[in-house]
Structure 1
Amino acid sequence: MPIRQVNNNAEIVFTCSESVLYNTEMIAEEHSVVRVLSGELKVIQSNKTYVFGAGETHLFPRNRLATLIKSEKDGLPYKAIVVKLTQDVLRAFYEQKKMQTAMVSKTDYIIPLPKSPLLDSFFSSMLPYFDLDYKLPQELSQLKIQEAITVLRSINRDIDNILSDFSEPHKINLVEFMERNYMFNMPMEKFGYLTGRSLTTFKRDFKKAFSMTPQKWLTEKRLELAYYQLTKKGKKPIDVFYEVGFENLSHFSYAFKKQFGQSPAELAATKK
């Protein structure tokens, strides 16, 4: 079994990857605070890569694209606690505080959080919850989310600009967005949503901008990036296909050979 999750409530999750390497695409509808307990988490965005180890914590803002690569480290599997800061709880929190909400979120990036006794205490307090043989009461779940918000605000004074942003994606430049984010293996509906378009409008605007279908363009761009990674960066095929947006190595190898006349392994061998 590649990954195991314990959900006492949808907002608080203990996750454990039991494989050596586990890959997934990420686009969360809620902000998420992630504490890595063991193993390693690599988060790849369009222009930045983060690596988080045991004891490190970060905030994953909502509606942001990333590839997550979870792997074991020091002989231990990847384990983490994920706390989703739901929009309902955030709205209630800021309304209760009578604080002005942000109009626009000011970051597109993952936010690494500094070491803090408050964070350590917060996550330690949740570990016993995952041993319960019954569902965590919703009221307690919401209290823990409120506690997480309070802790974040105490260690990052700019966090309100992100957490109090309740706006939905607006219609943006499709070409610029796709050129930055083509390596993320998202459904077309998600690409449309993030550019402020319905699926039908997204496909129409895409065809007008690129003179081809989204799937054909995405495949070509991902293969071009893979070729660059193999020839210029000296990376191995097993390390490349995840990062450029392919779901499995065999499909990547097939598409690559069809495009360039040789498999990724054959190309990599010629560069040694």
Structure 2
Amino acid sequence: MINGYEFLKYQPEVYKQLTCKGMTFVYYDCPQAVKRVDIFTNFNILSFVIKGKKLLHRPGKSWLLEEGNCYFFKKGAFNQELYLDEGWRSMNLYIPDSYLRPLIKDYYKYYKGKSLISHPSDYIFELEVNEMTADFRQVMLSSFTQQPPADEELLEERFRELVYSILSNKRNHALVSYLNNLADRQKTSLFEVMETNYMYNLSLQEYAKIANRSLATFKREFKSLFYTTPSKWLINKRLEYAQLMLNTTKKNINDIMMECGFENSSHFSRVFKDKFGASPLNYRKEQVRSAAL
């Protein structure tokens, strides 16, 4: 699984970058040579699409990202599908929770108490591109080539103005709700990280990184929350998801295996049979026979 942030961060000679108060702003000209790839991020992302379009897939939903639009991504994993003949350029702002929480709290007085969605479920939020958004984008694009480099305090001031504009816009209601929930928590919800990303073939270290925890702390808190080890929990959740897909879709077995986070077909077949008493193929055949009776 590719860590999108680290892939860009550690190639400053390839991708133009600016840093500001723990945030990283990257001008991203995508080199992706394959059509689909799995990516995860342990940062929130504010992305301005400069050129091209691409599809982002999560279980049960896909988003088409298009030129001229602006999107906010939650932390987590997704599958990225490019239109290789069009290319892709974007400006991405990688924003840690540690910066967002106090920033959102500063603006509580502007939106606290308004009717908000309790638990927004979307992974990606499309934002309205208004005059403030367009102005910020232009200032930032100019800053990547500015000499001497743009002043960090000025960059932060412009970013905070953008956040206020986003929070104040009624059309960004779902994102405001998510940010409100984020600010109300002392730390990232381990339950939410696992329940929304278990179907991706992430290592335990990568899950811990998304949850903003050390590996040791992640394992300790996981056991106290789920009463089992991460490995056992992940296999069980993925098998239950595979069972659901076998019952409700016509996808082939290999596609289901990959979508559930398994990479080895023999291992998938063995653990599925251990849990449900039949291989995935025979299980599906039995379900079809039962439905026909």
Tell me the TM-score range normalised by the shorter chain: 0.5 to 0.7
> Separation in 2 of the partners of 1:73 and 1:229?
27
Instruction: Name the SS for the 2:186 alignment partner.
Output: coil
- Uncovered stretches (5+) of structure 1, i.e. residues with no partner: none
> Separation in 2 of the partners of 1:24 and 1:227?
25
Q: Does 1:244 align with 2:256?
A: no
| Percentage identity across paired residues of the two chains | 19
| 1:127 alignment partner, one of 121, 133, 141 | 141
Return the letter of the residue paired with 2:260.
V
| 2:36 alignment partner, one of 17, 21, 27 | 21
Going from structure 1 to structure 2, the CA distance change for 1:92 and 1:222 (only over 3 Å counts) comes to closer
Q: Which residue of 2 aligns with 1:79?
A: 89
Shift of 1:24: 1.1
TM-score under structure 2 normalisation? 0.61
> Separation in 2 of the partners of 1:263 and 1:124?
55
> Separation in 1 of the partners of 2:161 and 2:200?
32
Return the letter of the residue paired with 2:249.
K
Alignment of 1:138-177 (within 5 A): 138-156=152-170, 158=173, 161-163=177-179, 165=183, 167-169=185-187
Contact 1:182–1:221, Cα closer than 8 Å, also in 2: yes
> Separation in 2 of the partners of 1:200 and 1:88?
25
> Separation in 1 of the partners of 2:145 and 2:209?
40
Contact 1:23–1:242, Cα closer than 8 Å, also in 2: no
Going from structure 1 to structure 2, the CA distance change for 1:74 and 1:231 (only over 3 Å counts) comes to farther
> Separation in 2 of the partners of 1:74 and 1:170?
35
Going from structure 1 to structure 2, the CA distance change for 1:69 and 1:135 (only over 3 Å counts) comes to farther
Shift of 1:215: 0.9
- The alignment covers a number of residue pairs equal to 253
Going from structure 1 to structure 2, the CA distance change for 1:135 and 1:195 (only over 3 Å counts) comes to closer
Shift of 1:6: 3.3
* Cα distance per residue 1:45-77 (max 9 Å; x no partner): 6x654332333322234xx54x22222227123
Contact 1:40–1:72, Cα closer than 8 Å, also in 2: yes
Going from structure 1 to structure 2, the CA distance change for 1:25 and 1:98 (only over 3 Å counts) comes to closer
Contact 1:93–1:146, Cα closer than 8 Å, also in 2: no
Shift of 1:168: 1.9
> Separation in 1 of the partners of 2:256 and 2:91?
27
Return the letter of the residue paired with 2:82.
E
* Cα distance per residue 1:69-104 (max 9 Å; x no partner): 222227123432222455447736864x68378699
Contact 2:42–2:211, Cα closer than 8 Å, also in 1: no
> Separation in 2 of the partners of 1:240 and 1:135?
48
| 1:202 alignment partner, one of 221, 232, 239 | 221
> Separation in 2 of the partners of 1:123 and 1:141?
12
Going from structure 1 to structure 2, the CA distance change for 1:181 and 1:56 (only over 3 Å counts) comes to same
The structure with the largest helix share of the pair is: 2
Q: Which residue of 2 aligns with 1:255?
A: 267
Return the letter of the residue paired with 1:25.
F
Q: Does 1:42 align with 2:79?
A: no
Q: Does 1:107 align with 2:120?
A: yes
Return the letter of the residue paired with 2:230.
P
Going from structure 1 to structure 2, the CA distance change for 1:79 and 1:223 (only over 3 Å counts) comes to farther
> Separation in 2 of the partners of 1:126 and 1:85?
15
> Separation in 1 of the partners of 2:138 and 2:128?
16
* Cα distance per residue 1:12-42 (max 9 Å; x no partner): 12232422222112342xx432223323141
Going from structure 1 to structure 2, the CA distance change for 1:130 and 1:214 (only over 3 Å counts) comes to same
> Separation in 2 of the partners of 1:252 and 1:144?
48
Q: Which residue of 1 aligns with 2:67?
A: 54
- Uncovered stretches (5+) of structure 2, i.e. residues with no partner: 9-14, 289-293
Instruction: Name the SS for the 2:109 alignment partner.
Output: coil
Contact 2:254–2:265, Cα closer than 8 Å, also in 1: no
> Separation in 2 of the partners of 1:73 and 1:94?
39
Instruction: Name the SS for the 1:52 alignment partner.
Output: strand
